[in-house]
Amino acid sequence: MNTHQSEKPLDWVARFAPLVKSGGTVLDLACGNGRHTHYLACLGYQVTAVDRDLSGISETENAGTIELIGADLEDGSPWPLGSRKFNGIIVTNYLYRLLFPAIIDALDDDGVLIYETFSMGNKEYGRPSNPNFLLKPSELLSVCSDRLRVVAYEEGVLGTPSPAVKQRLCAVNRPLDGAPASL
């Protein structure tokens, strides 16, 4: 059994994935072992999974719906996806601040960004504890709110699967005066 099969998607991802255009394209950035890649492929999305180490993920289970791209997102190389646009972008438990503009630019019109990662104060609960890998208070909201319409945002101690201090956001690439997203 592959690791991803034993892991449920994060509740935040499962809650907001239905906002992504049905059958659309989704980028799972820093995909790790692929738990969200396979979850989204099973929902009918065409998923592009990017990580520097793809050894823990298999595309054979959902052949034709998963594209794997091995890339070190932090080595100074150009954005590995060029000018491609996605109907949804998922980022979980990963932070590299220099990628924020590229992530937002990669959202198609009405594209949905679903992001959840660690925040300052997490040192009390374990790793990561290095400030370089922890969002500052309201940082995720601040980075996204100028260009995206925020659908939901939470910040604080989250208890599932284990206690951690996190920020999580769902935002849509739509003019701020656009119609509301349906939940």
Task: Quote the CA–CA distance of 46 and 87 in Å, as a whole number.
Answer: 10
* Residue 3 in this model has a pLDDT that exceeds 50: no
Q: What is the pLDDT of residues 110-138, one digit of tens each?
A: 999 999 999 998 888 888 888 888 999 99
Residue 33 counted as domain residue: yes
Q: Are strands 46-51 and 164-172 parallel, antiparallel or unpaired?
A: unpaired
Q: Is residue 115 part of a domain?
A: yes
Scanning the structure block, which residue is given the tokens 């738990």?
35
Residue 76: inside a domain: yes
In the chain, alpha helices (H): 3-6, 11-16, 35-42, 100-105, 139-145
Closest CA to 69 of 86, 53, 50: 50
pTM of structure:
0.90
Is 17 inside a domain boundary?
Answer: no
Interval 136-180: pLDDT, tens = 999 999 999 989 999 999 999 987 668 999 999 999 998 655 555
Question: What is the C-alpha separation between 89 and 108, in angstroms, rounded?
Answer: 10
Average pLDDT over residues 58-86: 87
- Would you say residue 180 lies in a domain? no
Structural domain containing residue 130: 3-12+22-172
As a whole number of Å, the CA-based R_g of the chain is 16
For the cut 50, the answer to whether the pLDDT of residue 1 exceeds it is: no
As a whole number, the mean pLDDT across the chain is 89
Q: Does residue 178 lie within any of the structural domains?
A: no
Res 176: pLDDT: 58
Residue 4 has pLDDT above 60, yes or no: no
Q: Considering its fold, how many domains does the chain have in total?
A: 1
Find, among 117, 179, 111, 128, the residue nearest to 154 by Cα.
Answer: 117
Inside any domain, residue 177: no
CATH of residue 146: 3.40.50.150
